[in-house]
Structure 1
Amino acid sequence: MHFKKISGFVLFALIMLAGCKTQKGKFEFLHPESGKRVAYGEQVIVKLNFPSTSLDSVVYSIDGQAYLTKKDTSSIVLDTKKIGYGDRSLSAKLYAQGKEDIAYSNIIVLPSSAKNYAFKVVNEYPHDSKAYTQGLQYADGVLYETTGNPSHLQEQGVVTSLRKVDLKTGNVLKMEKPTGFFGEGMTIVGNRIVFLSWEKNKGFFYDKSSFEKVGEFNYEKSQEGWGVTYDGTQLIKSDGSHQLFFLNAQTGKEEHSVAVYDENGPVRSLNELEYIDGKVYANIYGQDIIVIIDPKTGVVEGRINLVGLYSDGRKTEDNEMNGIAYDGQGKRLFVTGKLWPKLYEIELLER
């Protein structure tokens, strides 16, 4: 028995020794741990576990771009103000004795807390309760609206459509009912209307006066169409993720993207969009929330809580808030939703 106990202890010691040797020999990040959340402006210490103090060099990279080269094992410091917001991939490539090794980690750089807003209803207007609203814009003293057609609602007269609507009465002044796709967001660029399909991987250009289709474009990395707006230079498109995609306004070709983050992390389900005074206002699908985004950085700077705006007889499905329009001259903000009987003019109240 005594011999077995000693053998067991020796075996345990050998296992521990082997484990220590394995750990000592592994080139990896000790800090920061993968997925660490840090505040924008924070200084992040980067420390690696080196298999040996003998090395030629180690190259640190951020998102695949070389950041710093060192020839010793000392730690480095990242300035998050220089690397920007969002999920940042970190890597370190070790060169030693004619060999290479690489280690990976990542951090998520988050902004400060967004401003919170409540609302006050200024006016109420009639809205077609069969309009499954997907896109909305105010221009020329009227509303332009696009709608979708869920299959379970088509027998009730819910259709994909492009509309011109009188604001005060809710009357439809002009309508086109395209077929073959589920209608989504829209925006206006000069004398053309940009109208997105949901899953057909295509967007369409329509003549603003005649409502005739005059062109189309294919989606690229953003393979679904949700919302779209125009900043005066580029189209800005959402696809239900936490990304905003910037497209050439004349061709629809995708040019770049930005990830959207608030103080809690990525903000997903970005839906209908409206460009207002340099910011992107976005419905969050399934919530009575509009976020206000800086399109240059992807930072959520504001959050509008619209819970309680429309509740009487509202269903849990097919009545989602969706639709933001802005009268730039009159400084009026309008919101509505899918199959809502009213459209609301609201004023924001900072909390």
Structure 2
Amino acid sequence: MNRIIYFPLVLLVFIASCNTQKKASKFRFDTPEAGTLVKKGESIPLKLVFPSEISSFDSVIYAIDGEVLARKTDSTPVSLDTEKAPFGSRTLSAKLYHGGEEQVAYSNIVVVPPSPKRYGFRVIQEYPHDPQAYTQGLEFDHQGVLYESTGQQGRSSIRQVDYKTGKILKKTDLSPNSFGEGLSIVGDKLIQLTWQEKVGFVYDKNTLTKTAEFNYGRSSEGWGLCYDGKRLIKSDGSSRLYFLNKDTYAEEGFIEVYNDKGPMDSLNELEYIDGKIYANVYTKDIIVIINPDTGAIEGEINLIGIYPDKKESDNELNGIAYEREGKRLFITGKNWPKLYEIELVAR
């Protein structure tokens, strides 16, 4: 009886030992482990495990994203400097040449930016805001006139607002099937997104009369929109921001947005301020500050507590507007009764 129990146990140990030896003899990366987060600018060692049956080899070639990093004839580790590596997942490979044969090992790292600067806030002034406005886009023009896009099917609109009183000066309702989203201004035109209809609307800024429509490209939905003076920048709820031609509205590229923990998705309403993109993070009382050239999140504004009566859903922070003449920052949210002028406080 004891022998019957003992034999399978010995067999399992033997199999496990063989598997361990097989793993140990396989050509592979020892470090870094796949998916390792590396902050841009850090140097990390690339260390390989070589097959146990190979005592010498012709060469090993290291590469990152297919670009050769180093060629070696010994097994000492290679140092990878990530200063010039783009953010995101980077593929590492090593090709071992021995006896006319090639073996390949793979791993990957995720290059992320340094931790963002942290900001709190101070409320400078409060203004009335329509509590029935499901705010999706908020924008001042160069004359200091406030425009707002509101959402929800059957309630969506584009409007001109007296921000000091909250009074609606002009308003155009969308069709009942349209769900209004992000808003931006290009010259004398208002550009408004819709959520899942994959279509955007163009209006005359002065009359709020719709003059044109355009279809989306690869981006699946319409969330936020801003203008950097040369191109429109669009979010779709993912970690990507898309660049649109300001005249044709065609997508002409995108960036991936990263913080120090990896890709940042749920990017919502956008505003372009002094060379940076400010973005609401959906369902969170947070605004992130994004470098449009690299996609790095360089700052994070914590707005927890600014509107203490906020409900759990359909009441999120979602509205950023910058009054450029006075360099004033305003925020609000969906169905909030207040528009807040705030000042950032570094932490």
After TM superposition, is the score higher than 0.5? Answer: yes
Q: 1:290-329 alignment to 2 at 5 Å?
A: 290-312=287-309, 314-329=310-325
The yes-or-no answer on 1:166 pairing with 2:168 is no
Q: Aligned pairs, how many?
A: 342
**What secondary structure does 2:130 align onto?**
coil
Whichever residue aligns with residue 92 of structure 1, its letter is A
**What secondary structure does 1:335 align onto?**
strand
Alpha-carbon offset, residue 318 of structure 1: 1.4
What is the alpha-carbon distance in structure 1 between the residues aligned to residue 237 and residue 92 of structure 2? 27
Alpha-carbon offset, residue 252 of structure 1: 2.0
Alpha-carbon offset, residue 56 of structure 1: 5.5
Alpha-carbon offset, residue 138 of structure 1: 0.7
- Of all paired residues, the percent bearing the same amino acid is 53
Relative distance call for 1:86 and 1:125 in structure 2 (3 A) is: same
Residue in structure 2 matched with residue 37 of structure 1 by the alignment = 37
Q: 1:139-288 alignment to 2 at 5 Å?
A: 139=141, 140-149=143-152, 154=154, 159-179=155-175, 180-288=177-285
Moved more, 256-265 or 324-333: 256-265
Relative distance call for 1:4 and 1:246 in structure 2 (3 A) is: same
Alpha-carbon offset, residue 298 of structure 1: 1.7
Which of 126, 129, 145 lines up with 1:127 in the alignment?
129
What is the alpha-carbon distance in structure 2 between the residues aligned to residue 178 and residue 127 of structure 1? 20
Whichever residue aligns with residue 347 of structure 1, its letter is E
Residue in structure 1 matched with residue 341 of structure 2 by the alignment = 345
Residues 283-330 of structure 1: per-residue CA shift (max 9 Å, x gap): 111111111111112222221111121123x32211111000001111
Relative distance call for 1:249 and 1:103 in structure 2 (3 A) is: farther
Runs of at least 4 residues off by over 6 Å = 1-10
Relative distance call for 1:320 and 1:19 in structure 2 (3 A) is: same
Does structure 1 retain, via aligned residues, the 8 Å contact 2:40–2:85? no
Does structure 1 retain, via aligned residues, the 8 Å contact 2:70–2:78? no
What is the alpha-carbon distance in structure 1 between the residues aligned to residue 218 and residue 127 of structure 2? 38
What is the alpha-carbon distance in structure 2 between the residues aligned to residue 319 and residue 92 of structure 1? 51
Alpha-carbon offset, residue 240 of structure 1: 1.2
The yes-or-no answer on 1:66 pairing with 2:63 is no
What is the alpha-carbon distance in structure 1 between the residues aligned to residue 148 and residue 134 of structure 2? 10
Alpha-carbon offset, residue 191 of structure 1: 1.9
Does structure 2 retain, via aligned residues, the 8 Å contact 1:148–1:160? yes
Residues 42-101 of structure 1: per-residue CA shift (max 9 Å, x gap): 111112233345656544443x44232525344322111121333323233445555554
Whichever residue aligns with residue 257 of structure 1, its letter is F
Which of 329, 335, 339 lines up with 2:331 in the alignment?
335
What is the alpha-carbon distance in structure 2 between the residues aligned to residue 106 and residue 324 of structure 1? 37
Does structure 2 retain, via aligned residues, the 8 Å contact 1:59–1:66? no
Residues 8-45 of structure 1: per-residue CA shift (max 9 Å, x gap): 79856753563255224423221100111222221111
Whichever residue aligns with residue 106 of structure 2, its letter is Y
**What secondary structure does 1:82 align onto?**
coil
**What secondary structure does 1:15 align onto?**
helix
Q: What RMSD over aligned residues (CA atoms) do the two structures have, in Å?
A: 2.6
User: When the two structures are superposed, what TM-score results if normalisation uses the length of structure 1?
Assistant: 0.88
Does structure 1 retain, via aligned residues, the 8 Å contact 2:89–2:110? yes
Does structure 1 retain, via aligned residues, the 8 Å contact 2:231–2:243? yes
Alpha-carbon offset, residue 238 of structure 1: 1.2
Does structure 2 retain, via aligned residues, the 8 Å contact 1:55–1:71? no
